[in-house]
Structure formats: structure tokens, C-alpha cells
Amino acid sequence: MVFGLLYFLKAFSNNHSLLLQLLFHPYCCVMKYHPLNPEIFIKNRARFSKELLPNSIAIFVSNDEVPSNGDALYPFKQNSDLFWLSGIEQEDSMVIIFPDHPDPKFRELLVLVRPNELKEKWDGKRLRAEEARKISGIQTIIWVDAIDGMLQPWIHLADHIYLDSNENDRKGSLLQTREYRFIEEMKKRYPLHHYHRAAKIMKELRSVKTALEVEVMQKAIDITRETFLRLLKFIRPGVNECEIEAEIFHSFLSQRATGPAYHSIIASGDNARTLHYISNNQECKDGDLILMDFGAEYGGYCADLTRTVPVNGKFSKRQKEVYNACLHLHNYGKSILKPGISILDYSKKLGEEANQAFYKIGLLSKADIKNSTPENPAYWKYLYHGISHHLGIDVHDLGTRTEPIKAGMVFTVEPGIYIEEEKIGIRIENNVWITRNGNKDLMGKIPLTIEEIETLMKKR
């Protein structure tokens, strides 16, 4: 890395704020993917605006850039809600929506970092106004260094202020992020306004995908499919899990994906019983199965695939028996995942089916099933995770677990069977779009059956 600290100190001795940005602000969100249809974001903003109370302003801020060690930062990841509204991946951005502003040009605004020629020589080009308009469909662009003076009169016009926060039910971090600091700042500066949770609206809207959003998800899935087909020709005894992970990364980038949607799980043998195994450093051995859970991110949207295949290309008799039991649960799950059912009821039905499937392959006895309770069902010994989650901009996307499923939602279907005494772990996962006419398996063209997998692996 080129490092010219003395030059920067001299050039920016009178601008400490910009100096800090230059030294600690690497730009990490250059798009590899082809430009998306801006109608995605135009429609998303229209959906959101309809949910606001009269005379409301809504403000969304980008994520922090997070320091790792030394002067380095973790790769920047945009706030999912801001991206859903605008398609903008650049740091230090804002989206402001004020549908009832008396001046039409201030009803939708995008706030961006002002391009700086010297800064761009070091860490890359920033969006120009016209480029941002093409991506987002927002016509009014404001530079972030000018926003303070403009925001105050807009706030004074509004009666209600909607601010965003992270209300994903799976959130596990107590770190105070930029959106929470912004909430505190706004309430301190404007204490008499009526404040509302934008996240409550976003949770409802983002869980139901438009057809345009699903088109982008399908592209991420198609990239994942091509990668899986590539792996079936690559996997053999003696290959290391990390080599398989490298093949995935290479395939994703060569197809213009941003990269993996999450840390790929490449788990051979008994490693497959660890649900989030990410060491990916063991040799794949003859006779073992390998569980691979991976997916591409393209255009800000995620794919999430799991397949379990034999390292040597041929399932043993017992492996076939367990795999087909898992496949049965997978297909059963897809058959009942329809509008009107809740995830809780869906999981209960699938658990009951799992009890019977595990009995048929000798994992449970009739007594085990008879003595099980709702708090401790028998199947939990061999299937100890949820079967489905929402999928979209986030791998574990926003959505309810208790209310009825709606048309437009996208879910994973991923039952697994994990047998400690046999050192077997099998999971099968596809992505399913719920429609009014039944669900659509977006991964329907990815090999799934034992016969399909063995046939393709035989051609290595």
C-alpha cells in the first residue's frame, strides 16, 4: 500500500476533518454488478411513502465504516434499509423522504459526499450527481457538507419524524451504530416533534418482494447455480475445504457478483454437524460427505444454497437413506409453505413430519416419539435448527415469525439431519418465492436428487 502521510499532513493542515476522512475512509463499495433497474428503488420508495402519516419526514442514514486494526477498516456494508430505498452503496449517504413538502423537488432527496479530486486519487471515485440519479431515480442530490442548513427548515415544516433503527429479530450486537446516534442527535435538537419507527414499516415492506427485486435475486441464484455445477467437477478425495471455498469465490467474482453473501460453510465429514462451521481447512476424505452452504450476493440481494454431496462422487447405501429422508422433508416443507400459514405453525408441521421420517430410517423409536413434548420434541436430537428464514437484501432478512405468510415473501427451506454417532451431517436448502398461485422454487434448476448429483460428479 502506498502511504504518503507527510504529504497529506502538509496538504491538509488546515482541514483536519478531511484529513481524517482521507486517512481512515477507504472506499470499498465499487459495484462489480451491472446497473440495476432504478424502478426497483422508485417503487420501494413509493411503497414506503404510502405508509407515512400526513406531513411526515423520514430520514435514513448510512452505516458506519468500522475500524479493524491499525489504520484499517472492515469492508464497508451499506445500511440495508437505505439501500432498499435508493440502491446507493456509498458511505456517508442519506435518504430523505418528505412526501408533503410544498416544493416537489424536496419530496425525495439523496445526500452524498461531495467528490474531492485529491481524495479520489487515493481511495477511488465517488458518485457524481447524475450517476446517483441513474442508480436511485432520485432527482434532487444534496452534498453532505451542505445538509445541515437545509435540513432544519424541512424539520420545522414537518409534524412527524420517522427515523430508522435495526429491528431485525436476530440482531445480536449492542454496539451503538450511526442510526442510533442520529436518533439521539435529532431528539436533542428537535424535542417537540412526534417521532416514529421507520423500521416497523420497513419490516413489513421489505419482507414482501416485488417482481423486480426477485429478478435480481434470481441473478444471484443463477450465479450460485453455475458455481455449484463447477464444484461438482472439482470435488474429489484429497481436496481441502479451503480449496473449495476458493473455487466459490473465484466463480462468484468472475460472474460479477459482489462476492459471497455470507461466510461460506464447507464442512466435510463430521464437520457438517457444526451448523456455522467456517474453519474450512480440513482435507476431504474418501467415503465422507461434504456439506456446502454458500450463496452469491448480486446487486445487493442474496442467494442461500445448501447441498450435501459425496466426496468420491458416490453415495453409500446409508448416506442415500439419510439424504432421501432429508430431501423428503425439504419437499414437504415446500409443499406447505403457502400464504396464510405462520412460520411457527409451518415449523410445527415439519417437526411432526421429521419425527416420522427419522423413525423410518432408524433414528427414533415409537417410544421416543410418544414420550416427546412440545418443549422437547424427539426430532430435536437430529434436527436442531429452524427450517426457514426470510431472504433478501440480508441473508436473514426482515420479516415476521408469528403472523401469516404473505404472497411475495422469499424464504429458504433448509431441513437437516445431523447424526453424531454416525458422523453424518446433511442439509438441503433452496430459496422459494411465495406467490398467490403457489410457491416458486427459485433454485429449481440446481441439481437436487442423488441421481442428478452422482451423474454430474461421474463426468469429472
Digit-coded pLDDT (tens) for 382-391: 999 999 999 9
**pLDDT computed for residue 19 by the predictor:** 35
Tallying the residues shown for the chain, one arrives at 460
Q: Is the pLDDT of residue 6 over 50?
A: no
- For CA atoms 369, 372, 375, 376, give the dihedral sign: negative
- Averaged pLDDT, 134-157: 96
**pLDDT computed for residue 168 by the predictor:** 85
Least confident of 12-16, 90-94, 348-352: 12-16
- Averaged pLDDT, 278-282: 97
**pLDDT computed for residue 401 by the predictor:** 84
- Do β-strands 296-298 and 289-294 pair in parallel, antiparallel, or remain unpaired? unpaired
Q: What is the CA radius of gyration of the chain?
A: 25
Q: Which has more confidence, 295 or 120?
A: 295
Domain edges within the chain:
5-207, 211-458
Neighbours of 69 (CB within 10 A): 7
Mean pLDDT of the chain: 92
C-alpha cell at 41: 428503488
The answer to whether the 5-207 and 211-458 domains have the same CATH topology is: no
Q: How far apart are CA 146 and CA 140, in angstroms?
A: 13
pLDDT band per the 50, 70, 90 thresholds, residue 7: very low
Q: Is the pLDDT of residue 29 over 60?
A: no
**pLDDT computed for residue 15 by the predictor:** 39
**pLDDT computed for residue 30 by the predictor:** 60
SS (H, E, C) the chain: CCCCHHHHHHHCCCCHHHHHHHHHCCCCCCCCCCCCCCHHHHHHHHHHHHCCCCCEEEEEECCCCCECCCCCECCCCCCHHHHHHHCCCCCCCEEEECCCCCCHHHCEEEEECCCCHHHHHHHCCCCCHHHHHHHHCCCEEEEHHHHHHHHHHHHHHCCEEEECCCCCCCCCCCCCCHHHHHHHHHHHHCCCCEEEEHHHHHHHHHHCCCHHHHHHHHHHHHHHHHHHHHHHHHCCCCCEHHHHHHHHHHHHHHCCCCEECCCCEEEEHHHHHCCCCCCCCCECCCCCEEEEEECEEECCEECCEEEEEECCCCCCHHHHHHHHHHHHHHHHHHHHCCCCCCHHHHHHHHHHHHHHHHHHCCCCCHHHHHHCECCECHHHHCCCCCCCCECCCCCCCCCCCCCCCCCCCEEEECCEEEEHHHCEEEECEEEEEEECCEEEECCCCCCCCHHHHHHHHHCC
**pLDDT computed for residue 306 by the predictor:** 98
Axis-axis angle for helices 317-336, 450-458 (nearest 10): 130
- Averaged pLDDT, 180-204: 97
Q: How far apart are CA 332 and CA 350, in angstroms?
A: 7
What digits encode the pLDDT tens for the residues 91-125?
Answer: 999 999 999 999 999 999 999 999 998 888 888 89
Q: How far apart are CA 136 and CA 88, in angstroms?
A: 7
Q: How far apart are CA 197 and CA 220, in angstroms?
A: 31
**pLDDT computed for residue 254 by the predictor:** 98
**pLDDT computed for residue 50 by the predictor:** 98
Q: Is the pLDDT of residue 22 over 70?
A: no
Which of these, 430, 349, 347, 354, lies nearest to 386 by C-alpha position? 347
Q: Is the pLDDT of residue 12 over 60?
A: no
Q: How far apart are CA 307 and CA 247, in angstroms?
A: 15
Q: Which has more confidence, 30 or 270?
A: 270
> 161 vs 8, 168, 204, 256, 309, CA distance in Å?
40, 21, 19, 39, 52
**pLDDT computed for residue 437 by the predictor:** 85
**pLDDT computed for residue 171 by the predictor:** 79
**pLDDT computed for residue 119 by the predictor:** 83
Most confident of 1-10, 79-88, 166-175, 431-440: 79-88
Contacts of 440 (CB under 8 A, 6+ apart): 432, 433
**In whole angstroms, what separates CA 329 from the centre of its chain?**
24
Q: Is the pTM of this model over 0.95?
A: no
Contacts of 221 (CB under 8 A, 6+ apart): 295, 296, 303, 305, 431, 442, 443, 446
**pLDDT computed for residue 323 by the predictor:** 98
- Averaged pLDDT, 211-237: 98
- Averaged pLDDT, 144-150: 93
Fold that domain 211-458 belongs to in CATH: Creatine Amidinohydrolase (3.90.230)
Q: Is the pLDDT of residue 8 over 50?
A: no
**pLDDT computed for residue 23 by the predictor:** 35
Identity of the amino acid at 204: E
- Averaged pLDDT, 35-60: 98
Q: How far apart are CA 166 and CA 81, in angstroms?
A: 9
Q: Is the pLDDT of residue 18 over 80?
A: no
Least confident of 118-122, 253-257, 395-399: 118-122
C-alpha cell at 18: 478531511
Neighbours of 75 (CB within 10 A): 12
Class of domain 5-207 (CATH, top level): alpha beta
